[in-house]
Amino acid sequence: MRNAGLGGWPARRAQMSPGRTAFVLADRSFSYADVHQRATRLAARMREAGIRAGDRVAYLGPNHVAFAETMFATHMLGGVFVPLNFRLTAPEIAYLLRHSGASLLVYDPGCAEAVRGLPGPRTVVALRSPAPGEHDFETWASQGDPDPLDVPVALDDVALILYTSGTTGRPKGAMLSHANLVWNCLNMMVGVDVTSTEVTLISAPLFHVAALNQTLLPTFLKGGTSVIMPSWDAGLCYDLIEKHRVTWMFGVTTMFADFARSPRWADADLSSLRTLMSGGAAIPVTLIRAYQDRGLVFCQGYGLTETAPGATFLDAGESVRKVGSAGVPVFFANVRVLRPDRTPAAAGEPGEVLIQGPNVTPGYWRDPEATAAVLNEDGWFHSGDIGVVDDEGHLTIVDRVQDMYISGGENVYPAEVEGVLFAHPAVAEAAVVGMPDQKWGEVGRAFVVPRPGAAVTPGELTAFLRPRLAKYKIPVCFEIVDALPKTGSGKIRKAELRNRPLPGRPRVTGA
């Protein structure tokens, strides 16, 4: 087989374990033989539509088996898979489609309002209810040629473009090669002891690097079963764990807090769960201990989209003694913490976290300047995060160099929100910071200076942002102020804004 990338995985798995269940979605199961056949037929149809090596294929929609099938079919042709965040608005999606240059889009009909009428992909495939000129996924894919494909693909070829908003407000497309994904899977299997009998609950969005690369791909590689949840629902999560005897799941603070608040928490049968894993943002220690008190193994990790994502991981054996830590460097990667002068920080001393290894991105799609800003000549990736390493080498993330905050597992970059606020005719200046929230971890807090002679209300600002930004990016608190604190050079002192007393937290209606 000339395909050394992920496009060869369905054929190899179908040969090794054809009858084993690869995916479960609702009441339907898909064997590895099924996945190989379906992805092969889909790849043949994509080839007929003109997709060739290096072409980009985008997917927009909630978790679905079609996500994995589209990804593998794209990789069978040597193409680049571009999973899009279905929570974004139509203008945001349009930008990503243009920037990636996607030639084909597969989308869920729930995203139809954001898709239809957009310029971009020459071929559009709907999972259901296609519009005129579009294809129905099942019908279109089933008519493809079943003969195996063997396009040459190298491990260093780009496999994914995952968009993550930059601090300038423009989304950046982090490229991940097939090699990045393979090495990340190896790191994951070393840290978690993934087995061929694994039953993994895919409960976080697959367009996120963690759900895809930390759970679905390692499970597929080992020949386990991925049980797919279209979207998060605590009740459904309990049902699926009990029905399928789930052994492993990944989640973020919001999900785990919601799960533990359920009236089913005390009495549900969770005995099948071997490992619970979190990342994206630090989980409160009190929440981790609630799971540990329930007899569950809770492990944290640290990483970024650009590191595929695993950079550090807290082994199950250390999960109690080192609770709250993000662990030590994964097996096939290096992590160090540096002072501003680029000398190594001492144990307990904060510094910027840098990562090096075969899991690190080759750079950003069509953005050499952004690439040069984070990758040095030795391949060290500058995370922009502040961490502390203890005397045993365990990393704890304490702050961020940039102003990004994480709300419900979603990265929010204030510069993007501020850029949209500035477009409001009554806004002269705006600054957005994150503030603590019991449900979402963090939410946005905006300080707005009106233009002279103008007036604006929080409700008006919320209404202005709603059609322009995804819901999780919209601040829940707006404070109208006369001026923003600034340095002598005119930069806004965001640290001062963060330290201001928290408001009484009245939520804006509809926010």
**Which CATH number does the domain housing residue 485 bear?**
3.30.300.30
C-alpha 314/C-alpha 244 separation (Å) is 26
C-alpha 187/C-alpha 488 separation (Å) is 46
Q: Indicate the burial class of 453 (C-beta count within 10 angstroms; 0-12, 13-18, 19 or more).
A: exposed
Contact between 139 and 128 under an 8 Å Cβ cutoff? The reply is no
Considering only CA atoms, give the Rg of the chain: 23
**Which CATH number does the domain housing residue 57 bear?**
3.40.50.980
Whether 338 is covered by a domain: the verdict is no
3-state DSSP assignment of residue 443 = strand
Q: Before 309, cis peptide (omega within 30)?
A: yes
What is the count of structural domains for the chain?
2
Whether 166 is covered by a domain: the verdict is no
Terminal Cα-to-Cα distance of the chain (whole angstroms): 52
Whether 367 is covered by a domain: the verdict is no
Question: In degrees rounded to 5, what are phi and psi of residue 374?
Answer: -115, -15
CB atoms within 10 A of CB 466: 14
Whether 375 is covered by a domain: the verdict is no
- Contact residues for 267 (Cβ-Cβ < 8 A; gap 6+): none
- Contact residues for 489 (Cβ-Cβ < 8 A; gap 6+): none
Residue 79: domain span: 25-154
- Contact residues for 140 (Cβ-Cβ < 8 A; gap 6+): 45, 125
**Domain final residue pick, 154, 174, 201:** 154
C-alpha 143/C-alpha 48 separation (Å) is 11
Q: Minimal CA–CA distance to 181: which of 81, 298, 70?
A: 81
Digit-by-digit pLDDT tens for the chain (511 residues) are 999 999 999 999 999 999 999 999 999 999 999 999 999 999 999 999 999 999 999 999 999 999 999 999 999 999 999 999 998 889 889 999 999 999 999 999 999 988 877 777 889 999 999 999 999 999 999 999 999 999 999 999 999 999 985 434 578 999 999 999 999 999 999 999 999 999 999 999 999 999 999 999 999 999 999 999 999 999 999 999 999 999 999 998 778 888 998 999 999 999 999 999 987 666 777 788 889 999 999 899 999 999 999 999 998 889 889 988 999 999 999 999 999 899 999 999 989 999 999 999 999 999 999 999 999 999 999 998 888 999 999 998 876 666 788 899 887 878 788 888 988 999 988 999 999 998 899 999 999 999 889 999 999 999 999 999 999 999 999 999 999 997 544 567 888 899 899 876 544 433 3
C-alpha 203/C-alpha 303 separation (Å) is 19
Q: Where are the alpha helices (DSSP H) in 245-364?
A: 253-261, 285-293
C-alpha 464/C-alpha 457 separation (Å) is 11
- Reading the block at residue 315, the tokens are 């082994």
Whether 187 is covered by a domain: the verdict is no
Whether 393 is covered by a domain: the verdict is no
- Reading the block at residue 142, the tokens are 């089933």
Whether 387 is covered by a domain: the verdict is no
Q: What is the model's pLDDT at position 280?
A: 64
**Domain final residue pick, 110, 135, 154:** 154
Residues linked to residue 300 through DSSP beta bridges, in sequence order = 278
C-alpha 218/C-alpha 413 separation (Å) is 30
Whether 245 is covered by a domain: the verdict is no
**Domain final residue pick, 131, 154, 177:** 154
Q: What is the model's pLDDT at position 460?
A: 96
